Amino acid sequence: MSILVDTHTRLVVQGITGRDGSFHAKQMKEYGTQVVAGVTPGKGGARLDGLDVPVFDTVAEAVEKMKANTSVIYVPAAAAADAVLEAADAGIGTVICITEGIPVNDMLRVHHSLAGRPMVLVGPNCPGVISPGKSKVGIMPGFIHKPGRVGLISRSGTLTYEIVFALTSAGIGQSTCVGIGGDPIIGSRFTDLLPRFESDPETDAVVLVGEIGGSDEEQAAAWYAERKRRIRMVAFIAGKSAPPGKRMGHAGAIISGGKGTARDKIETLQRAGIAVAPDPADIPGLVRAALKD
């Protein structure tokens, strides 16, 4: 098993006629993902260069005609919130939003509008989700992954690749790797996804990759400490040397009012019994040690 995406994933690509959308649609298809449809409003019926995927005007059509159950969004920031709502309205169960730069107020409206719906939103401003060997939905390079029993949840993109590559090189495969995004308002936080890994019989441990800003890592620590968990956890926090008040690339990576420092997060995670790697290179060793517990 795995979480969020697998061999049953039937993907619709929102924004498929754009530069990023068409490039990554091809990459995902090559990886083996079932890319069943694309959507660009006004371009329904269009043929894509070198990609045999039907294009529709609406997500509803993609669901009706191609039985799409998962969506990935590559539309520009100004239209991305609307794209998420359209996917939800069409009955898509898992929506993964790659787009960076969406206004905070747009995401607040999306988040509260979707409350109570049985839909999972991952992102925005994220690399996507991959269950190695089964399905890749996003922009991550597929070749660095290897099927296995360790899950990964991260607020970062490239840093995640770095860590996945280190795991794979050490012979540790992954069940599912989820990039939850670097924005202050994201669809799924660590605590929304950890229970899914906890109930996935094919995941034994989870690597949490956090960074400065917000309190999602502290909440993850609280979740882990709440009761005896089946999965083992290892964490890494980026931004130990980041100055307060400066936004470090990600919209959500900022220490404000003295809150959200790396040190606070590391101490909270350690108190919850989670080993925190001082350096990304230490992660494979800590994962092995955690699995022996």
Partner 1 sequence: MKIHEYQARRLFEEAGIPVARAETAKTPAEAEAAAARIGTAVAVKAQVHVGGRGKAGGVKLAGGPKEAAAAAEKILGMTIKGSVVRQVLVMEKVNIAREVYLGLVFDRDRRGHGLIVSAAGGVDIEEVAAKTPEKIHREFIHPLAGLSGFQARKAAFSLGIPKPAALETAKTLMALYGLFQKTDATLAEINPYVIRPDGTTVAIDAKMNFDDNALFRHRAIESLRDMQEEEPLEIEAKSADLAYVHLGGDIGIIGNGAGLVMTTLDVVTACGGKPANFLDIGGSSSPEKVRRALEIVLKEKGLKVIFLNVFGGITRCDDVATGLVQAIRSLAPKIPIVIRMTGTNVELGMNILKESGLNLKTHPTMQAAAAEAARLSGT
Separation CA 46–CA 53 (nearest Å): 10
Separation CA 40–CA 26 (nearest Å): 16
Q: Is 101 in the site for partner 1 (CB under 8 A)?
A: yes
Nearer to partner 1, 148 or 239 (CB): 239
Q: Residues 7, 32, 108, 289: which binds partner 1 (CB under 8 A)? A: 108
Beta-sheet strand order (sheet of 55-56):
55-56, 34-39, 10-14, 70-73, 94-97, 120-122
Nearest distance from residue 29's CB to partner 1, in Å?
16
Instruction: Taking the CA atoms of 126, 131, 136 and 141 in sequence, report the sign of the dihedral they define.
Output: positive
Q: Which stretch binds partner 1 (CB under 8 A): 53-61, 64-72, 196-204, 242-250?
A: 242-250
> Do 197 and 206 touch, CB atoms closer than 8 A?
yes
Distance from the Cα of residue 57 to its chain's centroid: 26
Q: Is 103 in the site for partner 1 (CB under 8 A)?
A: yes
Nearest distance from residue 272's CB to partner 1, in Å?
18
Q: Nearest to residue 39, comparing CAs of 4, 84, 5, 8?
A: 84
Nearer to partner 1, 37 or 275 (CB): 275
Nearest distance from residue 99's CB to partner 1, in Å?
11
Mention every residue, 6+ apart, whose C-beta is less than 8 A from residue 164.
Answer: 140, 144, 145, 152, 174, 177
Q: Which of residues 120-159 bind partner 1 (CB under 8 A)?
A: 127, 139-141, 143-144, 154-159
HSE at residue 40, side-chain half, CA atoms within 13 A, is 19
Angstrom CA distances, 230 to 195, 236, 275, stand at 10, 20, 16
Nearest distance from residue 156's CB to partner 1, in Å?
3
Q: Is 116 in the site for partner 1 (CB under 8 A)?
A: no
Q: Is 209 in the site for partner 1 (CB under 8 A)?
A: yes
Nearer to partner 1, 183 or 204 (CB): 183
Q: Which of residues 163-182 bind partner 1 (CB under 8 A)?
A: 165, 182
Q: Is 250 a catalytic residue?
A: yes
Nearer to partner 1, 31 or 56 (CB): 31
Separation CA 139–CA 129 (nearest Å): 9
Q: Which of 8, 24, 112, 250 is catalytic?
A: 250
Q: Residues 37, 83, 153, 253: which binds partner 1 (CB under 8 A)? A: 253
Nearer to partner 1, 279 or 293 (CB): 279
Separation CA 3–CA 196 (nearest Å): 7
> Do 253 and 247 touch, CB atoms closer than 8 A?
yes
Distance from the Cα of residue 98 to its chain's centroid: 9
Tell me the three state secondary structure of residue 84.
helix
Nearer to partner 1, 69 or 156 (CB): 156
Catalytic positions? 250
Residues near partner 1 (CB under 8 A): 20, 77-78, 101-106, 108-109, 111-113, 127, 139-141, 143-144, 154-162, 165, 182, 184-185, 209, 211-212, 214-215, 238-243, 246-253, 257-258, 262, 278-281
